[in-house]
Chain A
Amino acid sequence: AIQLTQSPSSLSASVGDRVTITCRASQGISSALAWYQQKPGKAPKLLIYEASTLESGVPSRFSGSGSWTDFTLTINGLQPEDFATYSCQQFYSYPLTFGGGTKVEIK
């Protein structure tokens, strides 16, 4: 199975900051990667798919980049509603796998 390693596992940031989260795949997955945001007690929400395609309705301060083994989720200008846990997922091959998550907390 393809392993996804996210870093950091948690971070503290302030409103307005630029935040970068990375996801590294144990083998090449082309661009078959999605990013989700999850708030406590809620289902994950799709932010980005195909590594860099913004899901409809998601604010443009979210962006994704990368291919093959190294991917990045960037939040430009962190907003209060962005404090949450972010997870990556690969769709390159079965079994589908998720990263361990990155918790973004208020500094």
Chain B
Amino acid sequence: QLQLQESGPGLVKPSETLSLTCTVSGASLSSSIYYWGWIRQPPGKGLEWIGNIFYSGTTYYNPSLKSRVTTSLDTSRNQFSLNLRSVTATDTAVYYCARESVGSAGERYDSWGQGTLVTVSS
């Protein structure tokens, strides 16, 4: 059974770096039929796509965050990570990791982590 679990600090100071890890069980990060993504949701607001990473290391980022975002894969640990630099209060959100299935049937985020609230505050 596929499970994704986010982990990382729940409180980050302004101007510092937000770092989260998603641990995946029940699927391999090395598969060519999945992308691994990060999505966030500020309190009371809608969903915002942050970025995707493919098993090859290819990344796609939201242009609104691109200058501050880095994602990476650790296939030996079956984990992928998010780093968001120079955070401000507007980066306070629930952060989700998710699996995107790709292929001829259509793309979709079909599995999500439970989400982790990250608050940016001094």
Given contacts A87-B47, A98-B49, contact A32 B106 (CB under 8 A): yes
Q: How far is the CA of A87 from the CA of B106 in the complex (A)?
A: 17
Contact A99 B109, beta carbon cutoff 8 Å: no
Number of B interface residues at 8 Å Cβ cutoff, please give it: 24
A91 interface residue per 8 A CB criterion: yes
Contact A101 B46, beta carbon cutoff 8 Å: yes
Which of A34, A44, A50, A101 makes the CB contact (< 8 A) with B112? A44
Given contacts A43-B114, A95-B63, contact A87 B108 (CB under 8 A): no
A31 interface residue per 8 A CB criterion: yes
Please indicate the chain B residues that have their CB under 8 angstroms from the CB of A53 in the complex.
105-106
Whole-angstrom distance from the CB of A51 to the nearest CB of chain B? 8
Which chain A residues numbered 42 to 85 have a C-beta less than 8 Å away from chain B? 42-46, 49-50, 53, 55
Number of A interface residues at 8 Å Cβ cutoff, please give it: 25
B74 interface residue per 8 A CB criterion: no
A22 interface residue per 8 A CB criterion: no
Number of A-B contacts (CB under 8 A): 67
Which chain B residues numbered 72 to 115 have a C-beta less than 8 Å away from chain A? 96, 98, 100, 105-110, 112-115
Mark each residue of chain B from 35 to 68: 1 if its CB lies under 8 Å from any CB of chain A, else 0.
Answer: 0010000000011110010000000111110000
Which of B48, B49, B98, B108 makes the CB contact (< 8 A) with A49? B108
Contact B110 A46, beta carbon cutoff 8 Å: yes
Contact A55 B62, beta carbon cutoff 8 Å: no
Contact B109 A89, beta carbon cutoff 8 Å: yes
Which of A43, A91, A95 makes the CB contact (< 8 A) with B108? A91
Which of A43, A44, A46, A98 makes the CB contact (< 8 A) with B48? A98
Whole-angstrom distance from the CB of B118 to the nearest CB of chain A? 15
- Nearest 6 A/B pairs, CB to CB: A50-B106, A49-B108, A43-B112, A91-B107, A98-B47, A96-B49
A sample of 6 more A-B contacts (CB under 8 A), given A53-B106, A97-B49, is A32-B106, A43-B98, A43-B115, A46-B108, A95-B49, A95-B60
